[in-house]
Structure 1
Amino acid sequence: MGRRRGVMSEHFKEELAKELGFYNKVQQDGWGGITSKDAGNMVKRAVQIAQGKLKQN
């Protein structure tokens, strides 16, 4: 069984990390260096953005 592909693009993840204030950690240590709280906040923000786009339609 292979590794799952991510749903979010690398660019989108980077933009979220910048918005949430931990992009420097990603640059230093990669995605494996962020906390689970930061990852959860990133997913939460991505869901908020997606919901906002659905409401616009």
Structure 2
Amino acid sequence: MGKGVMSQEYKDKLAHDLGFGEKVEDGNWSDVTTGEVGSMVREAIKRGEQAMVEKAEKNGNSHQNIQ
């Protein structure tokens, strides 16, 4: 993943939330599959979109593309 895109702490949390955190507890990501990384990316996007929706709702804003 690109530098500064996701913190190490957030990547570790996602890995644990998605059920493969034990693979990365030692800091070695070499056993993580491309499918698992893909799952992390999808989940990070999903959570980011949800955070944007919640922020917009909190601020009383809405946008036609925010679901």
Provide the TM-score with structure 2 as the length reference.
0.71
- Deviation digits for residues 33-52 of structure 1, max 9, x if unmatched? 20000000000000000000
Unaligned 5+ segments in structure 1 are none
Measured at CA, do residues 6 and 30 of structure 1 come closer, stay the same or move farther in structure 2, by a change above 3 Å? farther
Moved over 2 A (4+): none
Q: Percent identity?
A: 33
| Alignment length (residue pairs) | 54
CA RMSD of aligned residues (A): 1.6
Query: Higher relative contact order by CA 8 Å / sep ≥ 6: 1 or 2?
Result: 1
Indicate the structure with greater helix content. Answer: 1
Gaps of 5+ in 2: 57-67
Name the counterpart of 2:21.
23
Q: Deviations over 1:11-48 (max 9, x none)?
A: 00010000000011112571122000000000000000
